[in-house]
Structure 1
């Protein structure tokens, strides 16, 4: 007896070769794509046969898709759906993310920011704009080497693990914070050669209540946590004051993980040496936001692009194809969101 077809809807913009890669997983799959730009358009694209949905946006009302059983998100996190009924524990619909797809571009971005900050490259850019050859070049630009410096990684998921791997390759000391430090291994999507799947690189793991100890030790603090109700403003004034005055903060996760008012004070008053920020509590960052007024030699502001890569869709399609195979075989899906922990 022939098994029933499984109808899959992609609301993204996968190129035809990537859609063919998904269809090649099984003849049971009926894959269609309707490129959508918001939740309203996704609602219009859903139909009664849709069983699997690949999307970023999600309408609150899913009545148009009574057979929906699984939503694969086109994002590493699910924080934009925290108040959606699909993330309540009693919802029967599985939700997975593309965690792991972003590890390479964001890991490289973080190391680029570390090098830029410690080598005073923003300062050099300002000199370029001013057409100035400075006096006292040694005093102004002689850096500390990354080798031997300590990086504290808040959140040791796929991105944090790739930051750890790259930092270790530069000879840095790696510390990591996890909500459950006893669980060292990564059971999500891990591309070959990426990250630290067994959790072997950090010299020490810290729990959330020990974060001040990690911060005091670190020359660079990298935020790679998921945003949940429990992690909002995870880094505030006490955490910033615990950091070394020579330390740098790098946030590539979510803006609301940091108390931005306290961060502005920390930068303006010299609690820390500088920061690289790719995410903000409000995006786009408003023109009157005080972060724009911070000395540009000490802060890098980027418009939430750290995860961008020309290979993104290709990697996302690989992950989705593997999860489609698992779904048809009745195996556990990769990157399944724990609805109690909200990530």
Structure 2
């Protein structure tokens, strides 16, 4: 059975054990990267295809006459034409809940950076500021404690819950936001606007949908405290990037930390990348990418293939209702 991984280089730099994949099915053809113009040709005779971010569009899916299974090496599945796969009766599966510890610790890393002013103090040392200081401890940047601060979480699934647990270990108060459009509150939830007003840190962990597209924009920035920090390790379109840039530039909020941008990689640039101040932290969509997380993802992908071949349940994606 011809089995192809189209972009294995996007999930490993030689640090991932492929044993689970090889035990599920063998042999594999591993491509580090597949340009879009080569996708249809590379999968033309394939029976199982794995892709992390390579687009599997209608043309490619219909050109692959032997295709029996599409495996997404990620949770998001916007890179696969599900309607075309359904027309061909080709199941599509993804992997879920593999990156929770990695993303949760990345979120705390952002908060700790803002509390401890790590970036500024590192730059101070690099430019000789400590070496020339009159005092043993330069107090150029105000350090704060997470203890006693309020964290607002938007999206209380496994990721949001994991972040809440870590925050509580730092003695933070945690508020779980109710849906923005909700007219009533579920137990343990706080009205969305109240979270915006009260939180010192706001962290996004909700999926991207019509309801959450630009869930944070100028309206929400107007509600936030000037001392508030916004963190996004989820999807870029949850935040209006232009409104974020304006909120930072005008000191409407104290800072922001993001792991996602509207274009990745940002080959055409992004105004946020040109923002010159250290109250904006940007990481290159790396929150998920611990070696442990990537290994779990590969093992779960292998389990999907094994279960498919043995007629057992696997993480098959259903076509969204029209």
**TM-score normalized with structure 1 length:** 0.75
Say whether 1:204 aligns with 2:201: no
- Distance, in Å, in 1 between the alignment partners of 2:266 and 2:29 is 32
Question: Which stretches in structure 2 are left out of the alignment for 5+ residues?
Answer: 181-185
- Distance, in Å, in 2 between the alignment partners of 1:38 and 1:244 is 45
1:12-54 Cα offsets, whole Å, 9 max, x none, are 43779844423434xxx4442231423333322214450x321
Asked whether the equivalents of residues 232 and 257 of structure 2 are also in contact (C-alpha less than 8 Å), the reply is yes
SS in 2 for 1:58: coil
RMSD: 3.5
Which deviates more from structure 2 when the two are superposed, residues 241-250 or residues 310-319? Answer: 310-319
Partner of 1:70: 69
Partner of 1:198: none
Q: 2:35 aligns with which of 28, 33, 38?
A: 38
1:269-320 Cα offsets, whole Å, 9 max, x none, are 2221101122112344478744345452311122222222233442222111
CA-CA distance at 1:178 after TM superposition: 7.2
- Distance, in Å, in 2 between the alignment partners of 1:157 and 1:87 is 30
SS in 2 for 1:216: helix
Asked whether the equivalents of residues 93 and 304 of structure 2 are also in contact (C-alpha less than 8 Å), the reply is no
Partner of 1:9: 4
1:77-115 Cα offsets, whole Å, 9 max, x none, are 22444xx35488767433333332222222221111100
Asked whether the equivalents of residues 99 and 288 of structure 2 are also in contact (C-alpha less than 8 Å), the reply is yes
How many residues were matched structurally? 306
- Distance, in Å, in 2 between the alignment partners of 1:66 and 1:264 is 47
Q: How does 1:47-196 map to 2 (within 5 A)?
A: 47-48=44-45, 50=47, 52-56=48-52, 57-60=54-57, 61=59, 62-81=61-80, 84-86=81-83, 92-133=89-130, 140-177=140-177
Asked whether the equivalents of residues 103 and 158 of structure 1 are also in contact (C-alpha less than 8 Å), the reply is yes
Which deviates more from structure 2 when the two are superposed, residues 282-291 or residues 220-229? Answer: 282-291
- Distance, in Å, in 2 between the alignment partners of 1:139 and 1:67 is 66
- Distance, in Å, in 2 between the alignment partners of 1:276 and 1:241 is 18
Asked whether the equivalents of residues 153 and 176 of structure 1 are also in contact (C-alpha less than 8 Å), the reply is yes
Shift in CA distance, 301/23, structure 1 to aligned 2, threshold 3 Å: closer
CA-CA distance at 1:124 after TM superposition: 1.3
Shift in CA distance, 20/294, structure 1 to aligned 2, threshold 3 Å: closer
CA-CA distance at 1:263 after TM superposition: 0.6
Asked whether the equivalents of residues 255 and 280 of structure 2 are also in contact (C-alpha less than 8 Å), the reply is yes
Shift in CA distance, 147/94, structure 1 to aligned 2, threshold 3 Å: farther
SS in 2 for 1:153: strand
Partner of 1:22: 21
**TM-score normalized with structure 2 length:** 0.79
